[in-house]
Amino acid sequence: MKLKSRKKYNTLLVTLSGDIDHHSAQEISEGIARDFRHSHCKNIIINFSDVSFMDSSGIGMLIGRYKETEIFGGRLAAVSISRELMKIFKVSGLYKIINCYDNENLALEAFRGE
Amino acid sequence: MENRFHMEFSAVSENESFARLCISAFLLPCDPTVNDMTDIKTAVSEAVTNAIIHGYEGVENGIVTLDARLEKNILHIKVSDTGKGIANIEEARKPLFTTGSDRERSGMGFTVMEAFTDKMAVESEVGKGTTVTMQKRLKCYG
Ligand SMILES: Nc1ncnc2c1ncn2[C@@H]1O[C@H](COP(=O)(O)OP(=O)(O)OP(=O)(O)O)[C@@H](O)[C@H]1O
Ligand SMILES: [Mg+2]
């Protein structure tokens, strides 16, 4: 599992790659939380295009990040979710809580439109 | 045609991806769809993770057992631990029920297993352990 992040406007863009399971989730949570704090951003966009697998540990990780953005009145978006991953987003109800977009630009546009 | 495997492994988080890899490799010869493969990997990952983090919570040297049996295109899976067990199975299976909210658990594991397979059953006894069995008809062998 790899985590990369960069800042654009007041949004932290996070790219994850590999499997999101219980083994990797804690490191991902801590990594995003740390980068988010240091960036002084308001919103987080997580890019899933290179994520090969995700189970319910990923749901917990995402809800955790959702709560953190809420504290700053910001938003969390998930982008580039493959068809296979979309199933767990739907079954868990995640897609109702977290805004999902096809790509980073669409999410950024949605954030700016507010 | 029937094919099966049985494996035991240490209850450590490194073995979650190992278990997924094993079930994938086992199914590969029957050429399953990408969807079926994802469903099975996810369901196995949920059951194995529960055994590791809940079953053997605070215990070292726990052993998780994974059994798979493929009868024509019906896959039977069994994941067992001899850990702490579940007092109230009905409550544990409810969406959002979790005893791990302090560790970013969402309580969706059983719901995912149910949604990603055709049948799921839980047997458990406090102090003895938990066994989860799942069944799924695969879209292989025509
Ligand atoms: N093998 C097990 N041994 C003991 N308790 C278990 C076991 N599996 C599940 N449980 C109990 O059932 C609850 C619900 O499990 P479930 O997988 O649905 O959610 P979770 O593991 O808490 O969270 P998530 O899977 O979403 O990360 C757990 O919180 C735990 O209390
Ligand atoms: Mg679970």
The shortest CB-CB distance from A22 to any of B38, B49, B112 is to: B49
In this prediction, residue B52 has a pLDDT band, given cuts at 50, 70 and 90, of very high
Give residues 97 to 126 of B whose Cβ lies within 8 Å of A: 103-106, 108-109, 111-112, 115-116
Per-residue confidence (pLDDT) for residue B47, from 0 to 100? 98
Q: Do A84 and B105 touch (CB under 8 A)?
A: no
Known catalytic residue: B15?
no
Question: What is the CATH number for A97?
Answer: 3.30.750.24
Cα A67 to Cα A97, B39, B47, B113, distances in angstroms: 11, 28, 27, 26
Nearest CA to ligand 1 atom 31: B99
CATH tag, B2-137: 3.30.565.10
CB atoms within 10 A of CB B8: 10
Pocket mutation for ligand 1, best pick of B44, B50, B91 (most atoms within 8 Å of C-beta): B50
Grade residue A72 by pLDDT with cuts at 50, 70 and 90.
Answer: confident
- For the segment B71-82, the average pLDDT, to the nearest whole number, is 96
Dihedral sign (CA A103, A45, A28, B10): negative
**Portion of chain A with pLDDT greater than 90, in percent:** 94
Closest Cα to residue A52, out of B106, B49, B42? B42
Among protein residues, the one whose CA lies closest to atom 28 of ligand 1: B98
As given in the structure block, the two tokens for residue B12 are 């450590």
Q: Which residues of A touch B49 (CB under 8 A)?
A: 21-22, 55-57
Residue A41 scores a pLDDT above 50: yes
Contacts of A53 in chain B (CB under 8 A): 20, 38, 41-42, 45
Give chain A's domain count.
1
Q: Is the pLDDT of residue B83 over 60?
A: yes
> End-to-end distance of chain B based on CA atoms, in angstroms?
14
Per-residue pLDDT of B88-105, as tens digits, reads: 999 999 999 999 878 899
Amino acid at site B126: V
- Domain hosting A31: range is 2-111
B104-110 average pLDDT score = 96
Q: Which chain B residues are within 8 Å of A64, Cβ to Cβ?
A: 104
CA R_g for chain A = 13
Answer yes or no: pTM beyond 0.80. yes
Residue A29 predicted with pLDDT over 50: yes
Q: What is the pLDDT of residue B141?
A: 57
The helix/strand/coil state of A15 is strand
